[in-house]
Amino acid sequence: MQKIIFSIILILILLPISQVFSQEYTDTPPTLSISLKSQSTFVYQDSEGYTIVIGLIENNDPLSFLTNVVIQAKFFDDFNPNSLEVSEGSTVLKVIPPNTKSPFIIRSENPNPNITEVFTTLLKFDTSESMKNSLIISNTNVFLDPISNLSDSTYTLYFSGTLQNGNAPISETFAYLAFYDVFDRIIQISSIEIGDVGMKEMKSLKLTEEISTSAVGFLLFSESDKFYSTILNVKIPPPEIYVKLVSISDVTVKDTLGKKLSEVKLGNVVQIESKTSIQFTENNIANETPYTYYIQIKEKSPNPDMPPTIHHIDKFDGKFIENGLELQSIDWIPEKKGLFFIETFVWDRNNAPLAAQGPFVLILVN
The residue ranking higher by pLDDT, 36 or 250, is 250
Query: CB of 129 within 8 A of CB of 97?
Result: no
Mean pLDDT of 195-202: 96
**Average pLDDT score over residue span 298-323:** 84
Angle, alpha carbons 192-198-204 (nearest 5°) = 40
Does the structure show a pLDDT above 50 at 248?
Answer: yes
pLDDT confidence of residue 251: 94
The whole-number pLDDT of residue 4 equals: 41
Instruction: Specify the higher pLDDT residue, 72 or 303.
Output: 72
Residue 224 region, left (φ>0) first, then alpha (ψ -120 to 50), else beta?
A: beta
| CA dist., res. 70 & res. 126, Å (int) | 10
Amino acid at 206: K
Q: In terms of domains, do 161 and 249 share one?
A: no
User: First vs last Cα of the chain: how many Å apart?
Assistant: 58
Q: What's the pLDDT at 3?
A: 41
User: Do 129 and 231 have their domain in common?
Assistant: yes
* 265 in the same domain as 216: no
In this structure, of 11-25, 94-108, 352-366, the range with the lowest mean pLDDT score is 11-25
The pLDDT score that the predictor gives to residue 10 is: 37
CA-to-CA dists, residue 2 to 65, 167, 188, 191, angstroms: 27, 22, 19, 10
Q: Residue 299: which residues within 8 A CB-CB, separation 6 or more?
A: 308, 309, 311, 336, 338, 339, 340
Q: How far apart are CA 73 and CA 347, in angstroms?
A: 30
d(CA 148, CA 216): 19
Higher pLDDT, 324 or 120: 120
Report how far residue 145's alpha carbon sits from residue 62's, in angstroms, rounded to the nearest whole number: 41
* Rounded average pLDDT over 155-176: 96
Say if residue 125 is in the same domain as residue 214. yes
Summarize the confidence of residues 241-262 as an average pLDDT. Answer: 83
Task: Average the pLDDT over each of 75-79, 121-125, 170-174, 306-310 and give the range with the smallest value.
Answer: 306-310
Instruction: State mean pLDDT over 142-153.
Output: 72
Boundary-marking domain end, from 188, 209, 237: 237
Picking from 237, 256, 275, the residue at the C-terminal end of a domain is 237
Share of the chain above pLDDT 90, in %: 61
pLDDT at 1: 45
Judge whether residue 6 has pLDDT over 60: no
Ranked by mean pLDDT, the top range of 19-23, 142-146, 342-346 is 342-346
Among candidate residues 182, 213, 237, the one where a domain is terminated: 237
How many CA within 13 A on the CB side of residue 322? 2
- 203 and 258 together in one domain: no
The rounded percent of the chain whose pLDDT value lies above 70 is 86
Q: Are residues 219 and 252 in the same domain?
A: no
Pair (178, 254) in one structural domain: no
Number of domain units in the chain: 2
Residues 70 and 206 in one domain: yes
**Does 226 lie in the same domain as 166?**
yes
Q: Are residues 83 and 133 in the same domain?
A: yes
Q: 85 and 202 share a domain?
A: yes
User: Do 229 and 251 sit in the same domain of this protein?
Assistant: no
83: how many CB neighbours lie within 10 A of its CB?
A: 16
* Band (16; pLDDT cuts 50, 70, 90): very low
- The boundaries of the domain holding residue 213 are 1-237
CATH of residue 283? 2.70.50.60
pLDDT of residue 241: 58
pLDDT digits over 17-69, tens only?
333 343 433 444 444 578 876 667 899 998 899 999 999 999 999 999 999 99
> Is residue 244 very low, low, confident or very high in pLDDT (cuts 50, 70, 90)?
low
